[in-house]
Structure 1
Amino acid sequence: MRTVMYYCEWAVYARAYPVSSLPVDKLTHVNYAFAKVDPATGRVDVADRYAAMGWDEGNGEKLHGSMAEIFQLKNRARHVKVLLSVGGATETATSAFAAVASSPVRQQAFVQSCMTLLTNLPFDGLDLDWEFPTTAAEGAAYARLLAALRSAMGSVGLAFGYLLTVAAPCGRDNYSHLPLAEMDRSLDYWNLMAYDFSGAWTATADHQANIYGGRFSADAAVKAYLAAGIAPDKLVLGMPLYGRSFKGTDGPCCAFSGVGDGSWEAGVYDYKQLPPPGATEYVDRQHICTWSYDPSLRVLVSYDSPESAVLKADYIRARGLGGAMFWEASADHPPSHPRSLVAAVHARLQPAGLDRSLNCVCYPRSRYFNIHGV
């Protein structure tokens, strides 16, 4: 069983959330997001060298920044594995993956540059986030890319095995393009993005992260992956640490007229700011989701609460799934807070047995790290 959390590279800036703030005693895996892909060459690199390494390109060898903190975290919490997440939800990242998929030369450069990052920086593997292949041909190219990465990881010859995962869609229109069984042969597990089922792009103020019911649901996606032959313990259920808001609405499944402001982008609020002042929180135990509603402002926000998160943890255990995943770290309450979602899910999953396998803290081929530290 796993508890996976995405950590955003940019969290060190306005969010004031360094790697050292991660609740490592509640986690088994951390995905460091996001490395960027150059669409012209296919090469992968960290997106912000100052945030990641503490220096601009070409200005030194010794690492500081988040990479140094990750190394220290892994020595302090040997059960936490840290993966480098590549891509993301931006149009730039999506088009870059498509460019890689269309060229064997760019695919080779993608794999080689990923291995350079893995062997030089303090990571235990890779998590690919292509949102999303839009044709069967792109899906097939995705599978080939994963297979090439798996082969390259196995050829390094280190005493430990690199992990390879993906952030996977829960909408049929997206996963229908993926050769799921073929991809699964290369993957250690799948991070199911069981959120964003509704938002500014939908016609009504629907739930954005429900397990059952609605046009989209986590349960429907889980069943589709299982039907494709994916083992249940390789499916990690994603949960949002944010809420999506809808203005000018009379409640769930009703029309709306805007999405409001948000914490960092329009219509999206950090979970730790929810429910908004003046709103009442509701939990739908049938569909397993939470929302708040302010009748005076006619604003609905769809998100997870401790109660719905615990129900999701029970769903994970009942179906023998591989754990829970959270996007993203800075938006939760501290784990000591009674409304921390990560703490609530961890407490529910821990009795089922969480992954305590050791991470890697020895990098014999790295130009930056060795067994003595940074």
Structure 2
Amino acid sequence: MCYYTNWSGYRQGEGRFSINDIDPNLCTHIIYSFARIQGNGLATTEPNDPEMYKQMMALKQKNPDLKVMLAVGGWNHPAAPFTQMVSTEQSRAEFAENSYNFLKQYGFDGLDLDWEYPADRGSPPEDRHRFTQLVEQLSTKYKPQGLLLSAATPAPAAKYDSCYEPEVCQHLDFVNMMTYDYSGPWERFAGHNSPLTAQKQSVQNMLQKPACTPDKLNLGMGAYGRTQQLVDPSQHAIGSPSTGGGPAGQYTGESGFLSYYEVCQKIKEGWVREWSNEHQVPYAHSGSGWVGYDDTESIAAKVKYVFQFN
């Protein structure tokens, strides 16, 4: 299951990644990100989204088994539209009907709820229960019509438990665990973006929930790293003191963040790659620059862990 962000096509030069660059046989599901909440319905976020939807659906001509879903929300989506939409049984029912029509209009196979997060970041405590009511109503509407329903959820156990009721899983086809961003430039130490040790703890917490069976859980793996500026370049192990995020990448343009291909470029330029046996992940450093990321070796370790549940 792979996410495609609608802003990646705006990057310059070799950093640009358009729908035409997608291998339609690489993923079983592609989630187009993001739509937004407008009233009690869905709306596009970019003027060219409808054309991008068409291009995405054209991938099915090369892989008829491919499922294409639409994500709504994201980190930058305000809480208020979600809160208004879930506020009453009627508003939720209208969203179920309107979202169903939107998905059918553009040919999507389902909806991924990426509300970050119910009962948090400006969302009142009541939204925790209202989210459960929402997914129950959406499931009732979608499943008889063959539409999929998933939710992107935070990885830390305390965060998940404060935002979602235990029974949420029973109404979802998938739970897309955001098992990354465990650490980042908001901290003052070089913490890794997605250590396997932390991911295992997140999975164990989810498996304790009703209906959160392994076949419903997707372990999130980010194709990027989080950067830090080290206080002392000679202290570069995971957990070393830092002063905040590193400079923006050449293509992604965001402080504290480097895409995998930008990390690879850094290593070609002389950054030293290290490996954490404890966390089963790599990190790289040069001078005060530091990045914790995933590569083929760490992804293989995570896949091996996931296969234990088959």
TM-score exceeds 0.5: yes
Counterpart residue number, 2:274: 282
**More divergent stretch after superposition (17-26 vs 113-122):** 17-26
Contact kept in structure 1, 2:37 and 2:81, CA below 8 Å: yes
Tell me which of 92, 108, 111 is aligned to 1:107.
92
Counterpart residue number, 2:160: 175
Counterpart residue number, 2:129: 140
Contact kept in structure 2, 1:19 and 1:70, CA below 8 Å: yes
Q: Secondary structure at the match of 1:274?
A: helix
Counterpart residue number, 2:70: 84
1:301 matched to 2:301: no
Query: Structure with the greater relative contact order (CA < 8 A, sep ≥ 6): 1 or 2?
Result: 1
1:51 matched to 2:40: no
Tell me, in whole angstroms, the C-alpha distance in 1 between the residues paired with 2:164 and 2:54: 37
Contact kept in structure 1, 2:169 and 2:209, CA below 8 Å: no
Tell me, in whole angstroms, the C-alpha distance in 2 between the residues paired with 1:179 and 1:67: 30
Change (3 A) 1:190 1:31: same
Letter in 1 for 2:200: D
Residue correspondence of structure 1 range 279-358 to structure 2 within 5 A: 279-294=271-286, 297-320=287-310
Q: Secondary structure at the match of 2:159?
A: helix
> How far 1:244 sits from its partner (Å)?
0.6
Q: Secondary structure at the match of 1:239?
A: coil
Residue correspondence of structure 1 range 118-267 to structure 2 within 5 A: 118-133=103-118, 134=120, 137-156=126-145, 161-212=146-197, 217-229=198-210, 230-249=212-231, 250-251=235-236, 252-262=238-248, 263-267=252-256
Root-mean-square deviation over aligned CA pairs: 1.8
Tell me, in whole angstroms, the C-alpha distance in 2 between the residues paired with 1:148 and 1:104: 9
> How far 1:141 sits from its partner (Å)?
0.9
> How far 1:79 sits from its partner (Å)?
2.0
How many residue pairs end up in the alignment? Answer: 292
Letter in 2 for 1:312: K
- TM-score normalised according to structure 2 size: 0.88
Contact kept in structure 2, 1:45 and 1:113, CA below 8 Å: no
Counterpart residue number, 1:69: 55
> How far 1:180 sits from its partner (Å)?
4.8
> How far 1:308 sits from its partner (Å)?
0.5
Change (3 A) 1:206 1:114: same
Listed as ranges, the gaps of 5+ residues in structure 1 are 54-64, 321-374
Counterpart residue number, 1:32: 32
> How far 1:184 sits from its partner (Å)?
1.2
Q: Secondary structure at the match of 2:253?
A: coil
> How far 1:188 sits from its partner (Å)?
0.7
> How far 1:178 sits from its partner (Å)?
4.2
Change (3 A) 1:105 1:265: farther
Q: Secondary structure at the match of 1:83?
A: strand
Change (3 A) 1:103 1:266: farther
Tell me, in whole angstroms, the C-alpha distance in 1 between the residues paired with 2:300 and 2:72: 30
Tell me, in whole angstroms, the C-alpha distance in 1 between the residues paired with 2:159 and 2:27: 29
> How far 1:136 sits from its partner (Å)?
5.1
Tell me, in whole angstroms, the C-alpha distance in 2 between the residues paired with 1:99 and 1:278: 51
> How far 1:299 sits from its partner (Å)?
1.3
Tell me, in whole angstroms, the C-alpha distance in 1 between the residues paired with 2:208 and 2:179: 17
Tell me, in whole angstroms, the C-alpha distance in 1 between the residues paired with 2:240 and 2:99: 45
Counterpart residue number, 2:3: 6
> How far 1:104 sits from its partner (Å)?
3.8
Change (3 A) 1:136 1:231: farther
> How far 1:152 sits from its partner (Å)?
1.3
Q: Secondary structure at the match of 2:141?
A: helix
Tell me, in whole angstroms, the C-alpha distance in 2 between the residues paired with 1:110 and 1:205: 42
> How far 1:96 sits from its partner (Å)?
2.5
Tell me, in whole angstroms, the C-alpha distance in 2 between the residues paired with 1:233 and 1:71: 26
> How far 1:105 sits from its partner (Å)?
4.3
Listed as ranges, the gaps of 5+ residues in structure 2 are none
Counterpart residue number, 1:356: none
Letter in 1 for 2:301: L
Percent of residue pairs bearing the same amino acid type: 26
Q: Secondary structure at the match of 1:26?
A: coil
Cα deviation per residue 1:12-31 (whole Å; 9 max; x = unaligned)? 22253221211222211100
Counterpart residue number, 1:340: none
- TM-score normalised according to structure 1 size: 0.74
Tell me, in whole angstroms, the C-alpha distance in 1 between the residues paired with 2:240 and 2:226: 15
> How far 1:226 sits from its partner (Å)?
0.5
Tell me, in whole angstroms, the C-alpha distance in 1 between the residues paired with 2:270 and 2:83: 45
Tell me, in whole angstroms, the C-alpha distance in 1 between the residues paired with 2:102 and 2:52: 14
Contact kept in structure 2, 1:180 and 1:228, CA below 8 Å: no
Q: Secondary structure at the match of 2:219?
A: strand
Q: Secondary structure at the match of 1:17?
A: coil
Counterpart residue number, 1:343: none
Letter in 2 for 1:240: G
> How far 1:172 sits from its partner (Å)?
2.3
Contact kept in structure 2, 1:10 and 1:51, CA below 8 Å: no
Letter in 2 for 1:196: D
